[in-house]
Every structure is written in structure tokens, then in C-alpha cells.
């Protein structure tokens, strides 16, 4: 059975990083952007990381520029923005694609394990769906991720246990993380 630990990704310097080094930890894997309406999610993500990392929790940050060009900078520029504006300390990897033929295999796997189920109900959710649909129509059946700040929760054994669209309240994300930490 494939798990998250079977994947290798690139750090900001382009070095291979086997996700097996995170075995036994609860992971929150996120595709991010510095110029998105959801960019303020960095603040509660960093708060959660600081509070829970000593309990075997890691956040893995993967910048992506496939959504309205909201992460145009270099890996170093993105990292500088995140550390200066939000004080982020969790691991940030090289900028990747999450959709289409060039999608990073990790994100194709995550989205296959926990497919998109919608943004929710209401006007703001409908508006995001409209933007998402326009942006992702070029990717067809390889539109794995619908927008920036999609989050995947991974158990200590490498199983993808939840997907959170960017519209999910961060307190709900934190509650799920805490629950996953306690299950160990």
C-alpha cells in the first residue's frame, strides 16, 4: 500500500527530501501562495505549528503559482515573505505544480486519496467555485487541487485522513490535527 512516506520532494535548494523522514508524525501538507486571499492562513498555521510541533506534528508547505499567478516569486522570495510577514518556521519546499501533466506526484496522490468535495455553500463559496472552475478547466481530469491553501491531514502511519479546502475554518483544521495527534 502506498503512503505519503513513499514520496520524495525537493527542498527550497533543490535537494531531494524523502518524506519517510517524517514517519511517525502527523502531517499537514499545504499548497500555498503569497498573493492569495487565503494567504493570511499562514498565521494560524504557524500558531498551530508552534503549539503542536513538540507533539509530533509537522506542516509541509509547497508554494504553487497555478492559481491566478498568486505565487510569482522565486523560492527564496517566497520564503523571505513568509518568514518576515508571518514568522513561519515550518518546512517550506520548492515551488511546484499541483495540477496538470506537470503536477507533483505527491499532490496527485493526495488528491486521489481525498478528492475534492466542494467549497461549501453560500455566495463566497460560489464565487470561489467560479474562479476555480475557470482556472482549472485547462487541466481537465488532472485538476487535482481547486485552489491555494488546500490542506491534507496525514496520520502518523502515512495515511491521508482528511482534506480541507481553503474555505474550511482554521479552527476546524486545528481540531482535526489535535484529534490525529491524540490517536497515536
Measured CA to CA, the distance from residue 21 to residue 178 in angstroms comes to 21
User: Is 82 tagged catalytic?
Assistant: no
49: left (phi over 0), alpha (psi -120 to 50) or beta: alpha
| Domains with residue ranges and CATH for the chain | 4-182 (3.40.30.10)
Write out the chain's pLDDT in tens, 184 residues: 899 999 999 999 999 999 999 999 999 999 999 988 888 999 999 999 999 999 999 999 999 999 888 898 899 999 999 998 899 999 999 999 999 999 999 999 999 999 988 888 777 777 778 778 877 777 877 888 999 999 999 999 999 999 999 999 999 999 999 999 998 6
Reported residue count of the chain is 184
Q: Which of 9, 26, 27, 36 is labelled catalytic?
A: 36
Q: What count of Cα atoms within 13 Å lies in the side-chain half-sphere of residue 28? A: 30
pTM above 0.75, yes or no: yes
CA 157, distance to chain mean position in Å, is 18
Residues 6+ apart with CB under 8 A from 91: 11, 58, 59, 60, 61
Amino acid at each position: 500500500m502506498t503512503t505519503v512516506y513513499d514520496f520524495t520532494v525537493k527542498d527550497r535548494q533543490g535537494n531531494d527530501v524523502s518524506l519517510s523522514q517524517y514517519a511517525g508524525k502527523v502531517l499537514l501538507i499545504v499548497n500555498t501562495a503569497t498573493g492569495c486571499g487565503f494567504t493570511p492562513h499562514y498565521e494560524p498555521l504557524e500558531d498551530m505549528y508552534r503549539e503542536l510541533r513538540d507533539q509530533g506534528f509537522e506542516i509541509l508547505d509547497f508554494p504553487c503559482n497555478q492559481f491566478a499567478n498568486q505565487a510569482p516569486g522565486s523560492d527564496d522570495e517566497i520564503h523571505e515573505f513568509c518568514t518576515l510577514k508571518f514568522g513561519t518556521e515550518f518546512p517550506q519546499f520548492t515551488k511546484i505544480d499541483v495540477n496538470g501533466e506537470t503536477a507533483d506526484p505527491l499532490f496527485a496522490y493526495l488528491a486521489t486519496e481525498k478528492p475534492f468535495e466542494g467549497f461549501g455553500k453560500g455566495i463566497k463559496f460560489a464565487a470561489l467555485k467560479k474562479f476555480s472552475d475557470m482556472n482549472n478547466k485547462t487541466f481537465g481530469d488532472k485538476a487535482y487541487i481547486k485552489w491555494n491553501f488546500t490542506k491534507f491531514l496525514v496520520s502518523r502511519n502515512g495515511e491521508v485522513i482528511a482534506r480541507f479546502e481553503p474555505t474550511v475554518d482554521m479552527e476546524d483544521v486545528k481540531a482535526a490535527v489535535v484529534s490525529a495527534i491524540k490517536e497515536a
